[in-house]
Amino acid sequence: MENINFTNLKKILTTGLLITYFFILIKPLVRLPMQSEDPYYFFYTHYVSQGEIKNLFIEAFKDGFRLGHTNPIGSIFFHFYFFIIHSLADFFNVNPWLISGLMRSTLILVLLGVVYAYLKNVLRVKLDFKFYCFLALTIYFGTIQFHSPWAHDFSASGPAQGILTPILMITNILLMSRLIQNRFKKGSLVVFIFTIGYLHVYELQLINLIYLPLMLLGEKDFNFKSKALYIFKFSVLPFTLWVCGKILFSENSDQYSGTILSTPSIALKTSILNILGSFPTSAWKLTSQVIPESFDIKDNQSILIILVALLLAQIPLYKYKPIEFRFDIKFSLNFLYLFLLMILSSVMHGITLKNAQDVSILGQVYFSYGVGFVVWFIAILVIILRILSSNILVKLLISIILIPFFAFQFNVNYTISNRQVSDYDSLEKLINSSIAIPKSVEMRCKILTDWQPEYTDSYYSNAIINGLNYFSQKEINSEYCPGYVTK
């Protein structure tokens, strides 16, 4: 009888457990309906481009300079994101929320991969990759908070919106750190082009321009002239190009609250709420007021039992594995810089009138939540890794503490997800009907009239109606609901 290779068996079991664990975790995230992502773009991108990629690219680029923005690359990503969701849903004949959820979960996996590279190459923490995957997934889904049911803006839902910003910020840190390590001998052009590109994804990326100057302050291997040259090339010049683009191409934004400054006292209050709102548990009070049943575990007992079982199953899979830390000035500067990112991101949004209107109590959030949450996620991950580097008993103790907390937060988000799906059933039916267009005009008009738009702004409703008409004309050569007038 051949000997059983227990090493390979352990790898197979671990991989299988990790995949199962991930799909259990992303279920409430995937099932969130489309309305959590500015739903009118789902219709608008096809209507405005008439289904042509070239037209969409041009329109997206133009849109990146409207309302005082200067983010054409981010606009292109955003437009194509929704264009692809509808195209794939149509191709596979599935509900759009499924494609959207899979794309959200893919972005989360990218983020977790980037964070692992950051731990390994910047903070220089050595740990087993599979162990990191389990721990990172637990902390990510065990601390993130869903906000969409009470958010004024659907884009402030939190689970994956704004996640591209921290992904690019951390990637930029990785590239800059690598440049410093190799003494700027190779990769300079790639990093320069990347810097120009990511600055035009979203305005919050401007904050990351201070990373290189801060890191060069502690470097003794570069003379003053070299430091000044690198700072000019990778910080000052990209910023100058961005400002020139804003001055030359950005449209007048007098009517857009997102580029209008609020008063100093209100800006301070909003910035503090942004900072505190990114901390895990900060939205529990608001959640209990809006959705009190989210703190009742009776409705989700079965899923929580499976979840806890999966968490417990991880413990015996890993014997004590050393986690190495190199505590030095670079580690400290990089770790503290994360919190500087969170503070500056919160302030950059907090000073605007739009953010002051949308964030008035603790638990309400906007896009800076994406940066703030990821900073807390990395900080909690590093702290727990440091504790787990002690011994196996401490590792087990931390696991026992994490399990009930994680299960409770998961229950909160799971309930919020179910509530949101229920609350926006009419809009989801409308979205689904753009894929499988009902043949009966009476049925189409009923779906449309049952729809209760969260927004009263005409451009939301008009974009959705125009998009429905585009899809309907294309499929059945008729308007979706002839004679319908938006409310």
53-109 confidence digits (pLDDT tens): 999 999 999 999 988 889 999 999 989 999 999 999 999 999 998 998 888 889 999
**Is 125 part of a structural domain of the chain?**
yes
Domain that holds residue 129: 6-259+281-335+367-425
Residue ending a domain, among 378, 399, 425, is 425
Of 440, 441, 465, nearest to 451 by C-alpha is: 465
Split into its structural domains, the chain has a count of 2
Of 260, 40, 272, 42, nearest to 153 by C-alpha is: 40
Same domain, 419 and 479: no
Same domain, 477 and 382: no
pTM, to two decimals: 0.93
Same domain, 17 and 108: yes
Q: What is the pLDDT of residue 454?
A: 57
Same domain, 389 and 448: no
Same domain, 381 and 459: no
**Is 86 part of a structural domain of the chain?**
yes
- Cα 164 to chain centroid, rounded: 6
Same domain, 51 and 192: yes
Q: What is the pLDDT of residue 7?
A: 65
Q: What angle do CA 208, 209, 215 make, to 5 degrees?
A: 90
**Is 270 part of a structural domain of the chain?**
no
Give the residue ranges of the chain where pLDDT is below 70: 1-7, 35-37, 152-161, 253-254, 317-321, 452-456, 487
Q: What is the pLDDT of residue 366?
A: 84
Q: What is the pLDDT of residue 1?
A: 42
DSSP code of residue 362: B
Q: What is the pLDDT of residue 253?
A: 65
Same domain, 127 and 236: yes
C-alpha to C-alpha distance for 131 and 172, rounded to whole angstroms: 25
Q: Which helix (H) or strand (E) holds 162?
A: none
**Is 207 part of a structural domain of the chain?**
yes
Same domain, 456 and 414: no
Residue ending a domain, among 425, 455, 473, is 425
Structure token pair of residue 452: 């209760």
Same domain, 419 and 441: no
Kindly report the backbone phi and psi dihedral angles of residue 324, in degrees, each rounded to the nearest multiple of 5, phi listed first.
-95, 135
Amino acid at residue number 267: A
Residues of the chain by 3-state class (helix, strand, coil), percent to 5: 75, 0, 25
Q: Are 427 and 35 in contact (CB under 8 A)?
A: yes
C-alpha to C-alpha distance for 215 and 131, rounded to whole angstroms: 30
C-alpha to C-alpha distance for 317 and 338, rounded to whole angstroms: 32
Same domain, 418 and 449: no
Count CA atoms closer than 13 A to 172's CA, side-chain side: 28
Q: Which residues make Cβ contacts (< 8 Å) with residue 76, sequence separation at least 6?
A: 57, 60, 61, 64
Of 379, 369, 486, 352, nearest to 430 by C-alpha is: 486
Kindly report the backbone phi and psi dihedral angles of residue 193, in degrees, each rounded to the nearest multiple of 5, phi listed first.
-65, -40
Same domain, 53 and 194: yes
Three-state secondary structure call for residue 333: helix
Structure token pair of residue 340: 């500087």
CB atoms near residue 7 (< 10 Å): 8
Same domain, 157 and 217: yes
